[in-house]
Amino acid sequence: MNILELLASDRPIREIVENFQQEFNEVLNSSLVRKAEESRDLPPLAQQALAGRDYFSLLQFATRGGKRIRPLLFCCGYLCLGGTNAPAILNASVAVELLQTGLIIHDDVIDRSVERRAGPTMHLLWERYFRQARYRPRYPSEPEHFGLSMAVLMGDIASALAYETLVHADFPLEHKVRAVSTFSEVIYRVAFGELLDVDLGMKPLDTLTEEEILTVYKLKTAGYTTEGPLHIGAALGGARPHHLRVLSEYAIPLGIAFQVQDDLLGMFGSRDATGKDEGSDLLEAKRTPLLLAAWRAASRRERALLEEILEDPQRAQRDLSQVRALILDTGALRHAQELIAQNFTRVYASLRPIEREFGPTAARLLRHVAQYIEDRHDYKGAVESYAHAHSRRARA
């Protein structure tokens, strides 16, 4: 299948995304298997870690789920610049998914997460390996430290493979140099976004502003979910700085809206919908616009309760229903939905200059991708289901 012809077609966007996911998953799988075969000079454990059938391998972890929005936007960026080498851009798009894999492995270490994509996080998988290997611990915390250490290394390996994928992509050298430079800038900005996110997580809610949180979303989520993939793909198509600026006007609000959607999913979604514990953001004391809006509109007693819950992960799990009710009763849910709508208004407004710069096919495709993200059923279903149940309880 020619991916570029698929993206440029007038098929329904869900059909385009589903076909793209199938094609991409095959390429991702074969890429990691090929890398393992090229690494036969490495010890067996290294080959297993790359593409073995073992639960801790990058192959098993990276193909365990994922929406593939990043490689999709990567290919969209290339198409915007009039690119025609479909096999090369699909192979190169593996780079952003490997980067995503490395980043979420590290993110799970930072957040002390236990689940990802309906399965254990990478550091817990390697902790299981330690115990099954019956290694003799030198310290009581040795299995946990081993798991964390291996996860850090696995994230590094995924990022290194991402760079290698770009370097060996079948594009003119000048375009690859720009793409690698853009890729480095993405990692740099995402790392600072994560740094700020960790710092915000330690600050009291009364010292925060929504602007600070949205700055994290711009650097972090937009950085490697929407803006970064579009820019890197466009760079492989020969984009110049003014092209990237036009794409940013679309990608940054799209990334912010996507993250606020995820905030709602993290607060109201079920384990089946999120692949994590219910209320995972609350368990990790994440500072989100949703939580900040609830705190600002809450009574003094409710604020004290919310602060106590944020300081105690066990209580966060136990009192999740109280926080959910508070978010609805204070209007914080409505505020988050308005924030999503405002950013999608900016996204759709950006399509006019995109059409002028890149043509109607690019504008139509990016409009459909935005609509696909705006209409995500996972977070909408979770919110509507809980709001309906809460309303019935309030009337009872």
Q: CA–CA distance from 13 to each of 27, 245, 359, 369 (Å)?
A: 21, 25, 19, 7
Token pair, residue 140, equals 């009581």
Check pLDDT > 70 for residue 358.
yes
Query: What confidence score (pLDDT) does residue 136 get?
Result: 86
Residues 53-91 have pLDDT tens digits of: 888 999 999 988 788 999 999 999 999 999 999 999 999
| Strand 119-120 relative to strand 115-116, pairing | antiparallel
Judged on CB neighbours under 10 Å (0-12, 13-18, 19+), 83 is buried
Residues 149-199 have pLDDT tens digits of: 999 999 999 999 999 999 999 999 999 999 999 999 999 999 999 999 999
Those residues whose C-beta lies under 8 Å from the C-beta of residue 12, and which sit 6 or more positions away, are none
Per-chain mean pLDDT for the chain: 91
Residues 21-38 have pLDDT tens digits of: 999 999 999 999 999 888
The arithmetic mean of pLDDT across residues 126-137, rounded, is 91
Give the span between the Cα atoms of 316 and 4, in whole angstroms.
46
Query: What confidence score (pLDDT) does residue 392 get?
Result: 64
The arithmetic mean of pLDDT across residues 4-14, rounded, is 95
Give the span between the Cα atoms of 188 and 178, in whole angstroms.
15
Residues 305-343 have pLDDT tens digits of: 888 888 887 787 788 888 898 999 999 999 999 999 999
Q: Which residue has the higher pLDDT, 396 or 358?
A: 358
In the Cβ-directed half-sphere of 305, how many Cα atoms lie within 13 Å? Answer: 16
Residues 235-257 have pLDDT tens digits of: 999 999 999 999 999 999 999 99
Q: Which residue has the higher pLDDT, 19 or 275?
A: 19
Which region among 15-24, 39-48, 101-110, 248-257 has the lowest average model confidence (pLDDT)?
39-48
Query: What confidence score (pLDDT) does residue 294 get?
Result: 94
CATH code assigned to 3-395: 1.10.600.10
Token pair, residue 32, equals 């990691």
Q: CA–CA distance from 106 to each of 112, 147, 315, 350 (Å)?
A: 10, 12, 25, 33
Judged on CB neighbours under 10 Å (0-12, 13-18, 19+), 111 is buried
What is the CB neighbour count within 10 angstroms for residue 381?
15
The candidate with the shortest Cα–Cα distance to 373, out of 233, 244, 261, is: 261
Q: Which residue has the higher pLDDT, 41 or 381?
A: 41
